[in-house]
A and B are shown apart, each in its own frame.
Chain A
């Protein structure tokens, strides 16, 4: 089977990952809804995953792909806890708009 990297080229994967990561960062900075921010975080994580997989293939080294599995597992756990926290916040405050969550003010 022909290596898919040879068709597309490694630099395109990097461009896509950078794009995804930037989308994530800007999502975090501009959106005020906590769930959307969460999704942005996931996008950033997946950008990293994409790079890991791409370079793993490029170097013919399997450990990169192993890392991806770890990242996925951690992301799953993070989502589970993060969503639980958000639910708890919503029940207490009645909103998940981060501009209204200012109780930690110093």
Chain B
């Protein structure tokens, strides 16, 4: 394929960004929206063509632009690399990106900063493309930082609200912690392998690895994993993601559910040949993933904000993906990333549709009964909920089931944890569904009057995503997985080389998973449909419920352990600087001031005196120069 077209694929969203940021106000909302959406669609079309080509030839394409950094024995190219993995990411980033752009043209219609919104979205897609196609760690880091920036800009999009700004800052700072890990990992790899290029790294490992390098590699992998926990919202850095729901709903769908948060999984999958060498780090990844899945799911049980539930559910699902990564089942993690992107984007856009209908209300206790008014939203939401709960034959069933199956074989404790998280997922998703769409409407009369189904630009993406959420599982059916074969060249230790058999155990596991999901749904049904319970206010709750409603007080703990000491230290140093350093500096200034004030008095304007001083001065100079010597 012509390299110019590949370049076009990357650069088109950036052009969209430039047009929207500089001319967005003048060209008007309609054109701004069209340009924003069209650029992503163009990228998507090129991605599809590229995908078909790579699927056919199995040959990765390398786009070398120029040598970026050239040192003796060390070289970093400014190059992009299109292989099976990155093209897969390209497909769903641009594909879902297009749908969400289309959705946003309607969702953001009333917003005065419409063009800015599209500019940021386009910029985000551009950086995401850079992230997934970079041929070395440094290019990836450009994208990595870029998406973080766009995430910050979009979370704080409604900048008049101070709380939203705080959420944006929180996301950015927490990501920075992870980014430090990314940098350290990159440095260690550059130091121990002399290259940061993915292909060269892979080749350099083919001849085995020295024990001393292995120890360093362990540190590098740990650092990179920390980076992944920051970007992909895992313990202990996950708390920014629920707060990130301050952004407009399409942003939550695109960045904080479908694409950006999967960057960590992408990075680890990209470096699978490195992570395979350090089983300890892999084990840690699996444990952290499992714990995150459980913790986030349990918090999700009691949230009342529709978007918060979805946010915690995202964290929990990402945890499951990390669990799969930890077991070395990279293609399964990728599979879940893809299916999750479909149904979670659909869920978020669905919640956006609901929020749109009730004029910005996000509290589920003020919803209800929307089933009859918003038929399309309801049906798509139901499909996605079934998919995320793991009910066959929806896509989520296949991907989640594979993760649990691997967990069962590798580590039975993590299997229990993962299964518990899945049951909780089924419960809170249907709690969300029942509270939102069933029973009677609990909002105000005015809101009730306003209720309406969203326009076609919003329902179209919902329908497409719902269809994908149904059939998405087909790309990796148990037994004969297309995805595993497709990804085999990218993943060194791939599953295609040693396929697992579908035995009785596997079928029993599937059965257990489905029954678990049904139990979760059943509990939700009995609570919220039969008894018509309403969730309590957070401050009325007690016991375990209170702990969950406050997210295990993790934010408070972070406040106490990190923010408060920092504040105290900052205040202390502020006082020190004010008293000592400022005192010294001001002292000098005062001294000079006083001296000049006194010296000023000598200049009394008497020329005779000046002359007298002058003559005395000359005499003194002459005395010392000629006589005193």
Could you tell me which A residues sit within 8 Å of B by CB distance? Answer: 25, 28-29, 32, 98-99, 101-106
Q: Is the CB of B605 within 8 A of A102?
A: yes
Given A25-B615, A29-B615, does the pair A105, B603 have CB atoms closer than 8 Å? Answer: yes
A102-B604 contact, Cβ under 8 Å, with A25-B615, A28-B615, A29-B615: yes
> Interface on chain A toward B: helix, strand, loop, or mixed SS?
loop
Q: Determine whether the beta carbon of B600 is less than 8 Å from that of A106.
A: yes
Give 4 A-B pairs besides A28-B611, A101-B605, A105-B605 with Cβ atoms closer than 8 angstroms: A28-B615, A98-B608, A101-B607, A102-B604
Q: Choose among B600, B601, B606, B612 the residue that contacts A29 (Cβ–Cβ < 8 A).
A: B612
B599-625 Cβ-contact flags toward A at 8 Å (1 or 0): 011111111100110010000000000
A104 to B603, CA, bound (A): 8
Q: Is the CB of A32 within 8 A of B604?
A: no
A–B Cβ pairs within 8 angstroms, 6 of them: A28-B615, A29-B608, A29-B615, A104-B603, A104-B605, A105-B604
Expressed in whole angstroms, the minimum distance between the Cβ of A87 and any Cβ of chain B is 17
Contacts of B602 in A (CB 8 A): 106
Contact partners of A105 in chain B: CB under 8 A: 603-605
Shortest beta-carbon distance from B626 to chain A in Å: 13
* Cβ–Cβ contact A102 & B606, under 8 A: yes
Interface residue range, chain B: 10 to 19
Nearest B residue (CB) for A32: B608
B605 to chain A: which residues have CB within 8 Å?
A: 101-106
CB contacts under 8 Å to A, within B577-610, are 600-608
- Are B604 and A106 in contact, with the CB atoms below 8 A? yes
Question: For residue B618, which residue of chain A has the nearest CB?
Answer: A25
Q: Find the B residue at minimum CB distance from A102.
A: B605
Q: Report whether B601 and A106 are in contact in the complex, using a CB–CB cutoff of 8 Å.
A: yes
In the assembled complex, which residues on chain A have CB atoms less than 8 Å from the CB atom of B612? 29
- Which residue of chain A lies nearest to B596 when distances are taken between CB atoms in the complex? A106
Residues of the B chain whose Cβ atoms lie less than 8 Å from the Cβ of A99 = 606-608
Min Cβ gap A78→B in Å is 16
- Cβ distance B108 to chain A, nearest Cβ, rounded Å: 67
In the bound assembly, the distance between CA atoms of A25 and B615 in angstroms comes to: 8
How distant is the Cα of A99 from the Cα of B605 in the complex, in angstroms? 9
Contacts of B615 in A (CB 8 A): 25, 28-29
Q: In the bound complex, what is the Cα–Cα distance between A106 and B610 (angstroms)?
A: 12
Nearest CB in chain A: distance from B350 CB, A: 80
**Cβ-closest chain A residue relative to B606:** A102
**In whole angstroms, how far apart are the Cα atoms of A106 and B608 in the complex?**
15
Give chain B nearest CB distance to A79 CB in angstroms: 18
Residue of A nearest to B599 (CB): A106
Using Cβ atoms and an 8 Å threshold, which residues of chain A touch B607?
A: 98-99, 101
Chain B residues within 8 Å of A98, by CB: 607-608
Report the bound CA distance from A99 to B84 in whole Å.
Answer: 97
Q: Which residues on A sit within 8 Å (CB–CB) of B600?
A: 106
| Distance, CA A106 to CA B601, complexed state (A) | 7
Q: How far is the CB of A40 from chain B (nearest CB, A)?
A: 10
Distance of B232 from chain A, by nearest CB (Å): 70
Nearest-CB residue, chain B, relative to A106: B603
Q: How far is the CA of A5 from the CA of B602 in the complex (A)?
A: 48
Q: A29: which B residues are within 8 A, CB to CB? A: 608, 611-612, 615
Across the interface, which residues of A come within 8 angstroms of B611, CB to CB? 28-29
In the assembled complex, the CB of B621 is this many whole angstroms from the nearest CB of chain A, namely: 14
- B149-187 interface code vs A (CB 8 A; 1 in, 0 out): 000000000000000000000000000000000000000
Q: Give the chain A neighbours of B603 by CB distance below 8 A.
A: 104-106
Q: What are the residues of chain A within 8 A of B608 when measuring CB–CB? A: 29, 32, 98-99
Cβ contacts under 8 Å, B606 to chain A: 99, 102
A25 neighbours in B (Cβ, 8 Å): 615
In angstroms, Cα B611 to Cα A76, docked, is 22
In whole angstroms, how far apart are the Cα atoms of A10 and B603 in the complex? 42
- Cβ contacts under 8 Å, A28 to chain B: 611, 615
